[in-house]
Structures are given as C-alpha cells and as structure tokens.
Chains A and B, each alone.
Chain A
Amino acid sequence: MLWLHRYLRLLVVCTLLLIAAGGMVTSTHSGLAVPDWPTTYGYSMFTFPASKMVGGIFYEHGHRLIASGVGFLTIGLAVWLWRADARRWMRRLGIIALAAVIVQGILGGLTVRYFLPAPISIGHAGLAQLFFCLTVSLALFTSRSWLVAATPAVDDARLRHRMVLLTALVYGQILLGATMRHVGAGLAIPDFPLAFGHVLPPVWTPQIALHFAHRVGAMIVTIVALVNVGYIWTRHRGRPELVRPAWMLVLAVAIQVSLGAAVVLSGKQPIINTLHVATGATVLAISLFLTLRTFRVRFAMG
C-alpha cells in the first residue's frame, strides 16, 4: 500500500502539472495551435518532432503529452487498485478515475475539432478539477494516516457540513472562473479592487456580470474558509490532521486572491493566469482533503 500511495502522490503532482499546462494553453491562446486531433500535424502523438514544438504548438502539444502521461498513470492505477486493494469501493474509484480521464481526453479533442466551443471548454476545465479531486481522495485513502488512525477520528457533524459547503463553493467558484476565461470576460472589469472606479459596476453586460460574480464568489469563499478555519482552531486545536491543512488552506486562499488581483492588474499575463488556475485547484484539493478528514469517522474500515 505504501508504494501505491507514493504512486498516487505522483499522479496528484502530474495532474496538477497537467491543469497548469492546460491553463497555459488557454492563457496563451494556443488551444488551436495544433489544428488536428488526435494526431498533431498528421504525426501520431508521440512521433511529432520536438524541433517543431514552437510557439503555441509547444503549449498545446505539451499539454497533450502530459495528458497522455496522466492517462497511462491512471490505467496503471486502475489495474493496481483492482489487484491490490481489498476495498471494493476503492477499486470502483479506480475505474471511475479511468473513465474520467478517457472522457476528459475526448472533451479535449472536441475542443480542438469544434474550435473551442465554450460549453465543451468549460466542461473540460470542470472535469479536470473533478479528476484532480479523485486523485487527491485516492491518495488520502491509501495514506498511512487514513489507514491507521492513531486516535479516534474527529466526529463533528457541524464541521462536516461546513466543509462540504466550502468545497462545493470552491468548485462553483472554479467553474465560474473557467466560464469567465472561456467566454473572454477575464478583463471585463479592468480595474481592481474597484469596478470601473466604483464599488458596483456602473454598467452591466453579461461579461461584466460574470466577472463581478467571480469576484463576489472569491469574497464568499474567503469568508467561509476563514470561518471554517476559525472553527477548527477553536474546537479542534489539538488535532494536527485538521489544523495543519486548515492553515495551508488559509495560505492558499490568500495566495489565490492575490493572484486573482494580479491577473487583472497585469492584463492577464499568461504565467500569472496559469498560477491562478493551479492555485485554485490547490485550494479545492485542500478543502476536499479537510472535508474527507472530517468524514473519516464515517468510514467503516480503511
């Protein structure tokens, strides 16, 4: 189980890298730099010459290569879980992960074949986060701290509800951000922290409303995250398995809000954009991690 856990940690890191690579594709407008799929300028995925990976091709084809790597790792994961994990629900999660990565690949192909239609692109971004959540969950479920609890797990129904709410809010906020990116509303409000010099935008268009909703969403997520962390700090201060990720959550949210501001102030500089995407995924992962910790007591075994 130790090596399976290490394998899953590798998959978590690779998936986060894949999300960041996808962020660079969108941020550099390289999504159509390779016009064909699943081939690349007529080459098979793995025979495309490295010397031709220039400009937008570097980001798009690089994203495809990393995605292929994650796909192969996920196949290995599903087989490994099926053979080595006694928990039936874990074996099923392995199959679900494999199905998710296949669907994700097809969605990626459809974005290319249909010139980046927003619904498909947003779906691609949303499923990427769900797959990432799955890898984080599996990594937690195979960890020693999960399998061999030293002390009785925390049983706090209120905290469970609060953490589920936070995780759902973070995911909703990520979907809102993805929608904003894929409909080109990232700079619909060009100033920060104000909106056109006002607290509320003086004019409203669908794009301005979407952008403003993302800002409001960031405020709500930040408040709920701080309230939850405060709750953990006051009620469960002696439980490092909750307190440590709680502080990591505070740090990640602070970085994420700062990056969000920097995205606007930098005029959507691609690297800042991408860091914002990757940090958003990290906030979601930490929130989910904490949520699952609060549910540990509900798991009958392992």
Chain B
Amino acid sequence: MKSLSCLLLSLALVAACSSPPPAPAPAGGGKKVDAASAGSLAGRVTFTGTPPKPDLLRMTADPACVQAAGATAPSDAVLVGTDGSVQNAFVYIKDGIDPAFSFDTPVTPVVLLDQKGCRYVPRVVGIRVGQPLEVFNSDDTLHNVHAMPMANQEFNRGQPAKAPKLAHTFTVPEVMVRFKCNVHGWMTAHVGVMTHPYFAVTGADGSFEIKGVPAGTYTLAVWHEEFGNGIQTVTIADREAKTVGFTLKQ
C-alpha cells in the first residue's frame, strides 16, 4: 500500500510538473516603437584563443544518415572562422526595454527548423513568444523532435521521413530551448524564445544586426552553446547605428 501511495504521489508530482505553463499576458503598455527614429545594433562575435577542434560525428547508426552526410562528419556545434568569427551565436537585448512598449506577435514569418542530412538546420534560431515554429523532416529516416525547455512545455513527437510539418508555439520567453533527436543523439538545435524582436543569430562571418531599436540603454547579451554567455551595456541614441562586438573565450 505504501509503495502504491509513493507511486501515486510520484505520478501526481509528474502530472503537476508537466502541466502547461499559463499563456503569457499581453506585455507592455501599448506604446509602439517609432521606426523612423529607431536605431540599430550591429557588430561581430569573435573568439580569442585556439578554438576547439570539432567533434567527429559518427552517422553509422543509421544508413540513411550515412547516405545523406557520409559515415562521419564534423560537428557544427563550434563554427569558428580563421579570423575568429563565431557562427551561431545568439545575440539579444536581455534587459532595458521600456515596459511601455508593446510588440505585436508576428504570425508571419513562420520560423522553420528542418532536419536535413541528420542535422537540424539551422542549428540556432530565434523566435518570438506566440510565433509559429514549423519543424520539417527532409531526411529519408525517422526523427523524434524533442524540445527540452526549462520554462516552456516539453514535448517529444515522432516525425517519419517526409512526414507533415510539426507546428509549435512557445508561451514564455526562454534562452535557450534545446531541441534534440534521441534517434540520432548528435542532432541538436537551440531556439531562443523572446518577447521582443531585438535578437539575431550570427552568420558565418560572426556578424549580426538588430534593427529598429528605440533609443535607450540596454543590456546586450550573447549566448553560444560551447563558449557560454556574455553581456555588455550599450546606449543607443535616436537613429544611431551602433557598432558593438563580443569576444568569447573558452
């Protein structure tokens, strides 16, 4: 009886922990950003030191992956150019946005996350709370799409080859939500969920640009899955094109 009680208690705890978080209340006080006077933040994320060599992924667990990407392939977790530029860093305004501002939830564009060559493409992406995310499977094999958030609702759905897209929306902001495929353990993606539009993912040259930023003083943050986080305070004036940079190290 005691064991049964413990089991029921565990189930109750699990059920309680798994209940979906409440939908976000409309944020802000209704004030809109004046596009004409807004400025921009642009710059590069670079790495100092000797970057780690990428791990070698062994795709032999699945013949379809071998056919698509070869028996082995370098991991894309760390992409550092010869000039130190860091790709797939997530740069975002962490703090300082006037709470009087409101930002419409974009229904379009839909953010796409594909599974191609037994990798997530893109590996790092940003999205807004309430904005549709669509996950595709372009591979000739089964994947499971397992989102492992801390604040949002965890889910795990199977997606056979060429199956219809999976749609999902996040309800609360979270940097970052990790996606994983447990069928192919090397497949990982990271999704930054924001309440505002001021975020960007660095390209191959390490550059980023965040447009439409109202004048103010902000905490600008960077996240990278291997190199960690960084923050700096930036002040931007009306119509200013501010240049900022982050230097990461291990």
Chain A residues packing against B (C-beta within 8 Å): 28-36, 41-42, 52, 54-58, 60, 110, 114-115, 117, 119-120, 123
Contacts and interface: CB of A to CB of B under 8 A. Distances in A.
A56 B118 CA distance: 13
Q: Most B CB atoms within 10 A — which of A28, A56, A60, A110?
A: A56
B216 interface: no
Contacts of B185: 28-30, 55-56
Most chain B CB atoms below 10 A, which of A28, A36, A115:
A115
A35 B154 CA distance: 12
B142 A54 contact: yes
A225 to B, nearest CB: 28
Contact of A41 (B18, B64, B158, B182): B158
Interface string B173-205: 000000000111100000000000000000000
A34 B144 contact: yes
Interface stretch (B7-15, B42-50, B96-104, B122-130): B7-15
Contacts of A34: 144, 158
A178 B185 CA distance: 21
A119 B18 CA distance: 14
A115 B10 contact: no
B7 A32 contact: no
B169 interface: no
Contacts of B11: 110, 120
Nearest to B154: A115
Contacts of A32: 144, 146, 156, 182
Main secondary structure of the interface of B (DSSP, over half): mixed
A60 B61 CA distance: 14
A114 B14 contact: yes
Contact of B184 (A31, A55, A110, A115): A55
Interface of B: 7, 10-11, 13-15, 17-18, 61-65, 141-142, 144, 146, 148, 154, 156-158, 160, 182-185
A52 B156 contact: no
A119 B13 CA distance: 10
A219 B246 CA distance: 49
A119 B10 contact: yes
Nearest to A119: B10
A171 B65 CA distance: 41
7 contacts: A32-B156, A35-B158, A52-B142, A54-B64, A54-B142, A58-B61, A117-B10
Nearest to B184: A55
A107 to B, nearest CB: 8
Given A30-B185, A54-B63, 18 more contacts: A28-B185, A29-B182, A32-B146, A34-B144, A35-B144, A52-B141, A54-B61, A54-B62, A54-B141, A55-B184, A110-B14, A114-B14, A114-B18, A117-B10, A117-B17, A120-B11, A123-B7, A123-B10
10 nearest interchain CB pairs?
A33-B182, A54-B62, A55-B183, A35-B156, A55-B61, A119-B10, A32-B182, A56-B182, A56-B183, A41-B158
A64 to B, nearest CB: 14
Nearest to B163: A41
Contacts of B7: 123
A35 B159 CA distance: 10
Given A33-B182, A55-B183, A56-B182, A120 B158 contact: no
B144 A119 contact: no
B183 A33 contact: yes
Given A31-B182, A54-B64, A41 B160 contact: yes
Contacts of B18: 114-115
A120 B184 CA distance: 24
A31 B182 CA distance: 7
Nearest to A52: B142
